[in-house]
Amino acid sequence: MYEVLRLRDLPFFQTVQEILSFYTCPPTCPAICCKVTDIDVDEKDRKILKKAAKGNTTMIKPSTEYESRHYKINPPCPFLEHDKCSVYHRRPTICRLFPFNICHNPEALILYPCDVGASLFDDFIDYSNCVLRQPISEKMISDFRQSHSSFTLETDRDLPIAMIGIEISDLVPFKKYLESK
Ligand code: SF4
Ligand code: SF4
């Protein structure tokens, strides 16, 4: 399992940033990512946020999900103000990856079905068809789109959200595909 502590140092981090630069969050999205999922925080993130929060770190709680030193913020994130991140340039690493997230498979990232995730997935379907020549199954496409339509602030946090796994080895070729479009 990945240690979130080292997340920003992993080779895929920069590639994900470059992929995400092709997408823009719609102004109509009420920052669902900051309201419905736990926000993982590593030690470096915690130190940076501590300065932004003027020393008040009570909202950053220890988490037992990972064996390494690890913290989390319960949603909705207290740094969200009027649906904007008040610590944007100091936000945790995990926020910089969304709608991607790490998962238990070290060879893949998961993709959340928010608006940006859905746009990205549409491009990934094209990439799979045109570059990989391995079409994604209709069922997987249908499940993800269904999940997108029900991914709202009312998302039941006790119910699993249908996400898709994207192989880390596909990130660089997918980025190149986006650049070539
Ligand atoms: S990353 Fe997704 S959930 Fe978050 S603001 Fe953008 S579209 Fe909305
Ligand atoms: S730190 Fe900012 S981007 Fe991250 S969850 Fe909180 S408000 Fe959202």
- Which ligand 2 atom sits closest to the C-alpha of 77? 6
User: What does the CA dihedral 157, 168, 27, 48 come to, rounded to 10 degrees?
Assistant: 80
Residues with CB under 6 A from ligand 2: 34, 39, 77, 79-80, 85, 87, 91-92, 95
What's the average pLDDT block by block, 10 residues per block, for the chain (181 residues)? 55 93 96 91 88 82 70 92 93 93 87 96 97 96 92 74 89 98 90
By most ligand atoms within 8 Å of CB, the mutation choice from 38, 82, 87 for ligand 2 is 87
31 lines ligand 1 (CB under 6 A): yes
Total domain count, the chain: 1
pLDDT for the residue 2: 46
Q: How remote is the CA of residue 76 from the centroid of ligand 2, in Å?
A: 9
pTM of the model: 0.90
Q: How remote is the CA of residue 30 from the centroid of ligand 1, in Å?
A: 8
Q: Which residues fall within 8 angstroms of residue 74, CB to CB, at 6 or more apart?
A: 38, 39, 59, 61
pLDDT for the residue 53: 81
pLDDT for the residue 73: 93
Q: How remote is the CA of residue 70 from the centroid of ligand 1, in Å?
A: 24
Domain that holds residue 41: 4-180
Instruction: Centre a 10 Å sphere on the Cβ of residue 7 and count the other Cβ atoms it contains.
Output: 20
Atom 2, ligand 2: residue with shortest CA distance: 85
Q: How remote is the CA of residue 91 from the centroid of ligand 2, in Å?
A: 6
Instruction: Centre a 10 Å sphere on the Cβ of residue 113 and count the other Cβ atoms it contains.
Output: 23
Atom 4, ligand 1: residue with shortest CA distance: 33
Tell me if 75 sits within 8 A of 35, measured CB to CB: yes
pLDDT for the residue 157: 66
153 lines ligand 1 (CB under 6 A): no
Atom 1, ligand 2: residue with shortest CA distance: 91
pLDDT for the residue 6: 56
Residue 137 buriedness (CB in 10 A; 0-12 / 13-18 / 19+):
exposed
